[in-house]
């Protein structure tokens, strides 16, 4: 599966949203993930801008996740990772944050 298609699928499954997604990543950040047996690895996470056109009332992971819309400038207050916080600030100031449907 192509990376942008996978990202769109994740958005549908985790947040119940459908829309237009960029085919190339905006940026990449690194996430420390536990891979089992007490071993953790840093993995790259590719971020894709998406213009949401449909917000579903039900979605696959709705019992495990809560969807919440916030302004781009407010997200950085909710994120612990300095790397991700910096990426989100750059995104909020970019042309990608103003995608047209």
Q: Considering its fold, how many domains does the chain have in total? A: 1
pLDDT in tens, 10-35: 999 999 999 999 999 999 999 888 98
Decide: 22 and 48 in contact? Cβ < 8 Å. yes
Domain that holds residue 29: 3-98
Q: How far apart are CA 22 and CA 7, in angstroms?
A: 10
pLDDT in tens, 71-98: 877 887 888 888 888 988 898 888 776 6
pTM of the model: 0.82
Mean per-residue pLDDT for 60-73? 90
CATH code of the domain containing 44: 3.90.79.10
Residues shown for the chain = 101
């Amino acid at each position: 599966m192509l990376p942008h298609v996978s990202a769109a699928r994740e958005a549908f499954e985790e947040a119940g949203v459908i829309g237009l997604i960029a085919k190339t990543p905006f940026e990449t950040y690194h996430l420390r993930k536990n891979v089992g047996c007490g071993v953790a690895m840093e993995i790259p996470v590719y971020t894709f801008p998406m213009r949401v056109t449909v917000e579903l009332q039900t979605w696959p992971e709705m019992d495990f996740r809560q969807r919440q819309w916030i302004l781009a400038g407010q997200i950085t207050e909710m994120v612990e990772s300095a790397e991700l916080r910096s990426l989100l600030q750059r995104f909020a100031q970019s042309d990608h944050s103003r995608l047209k449907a």
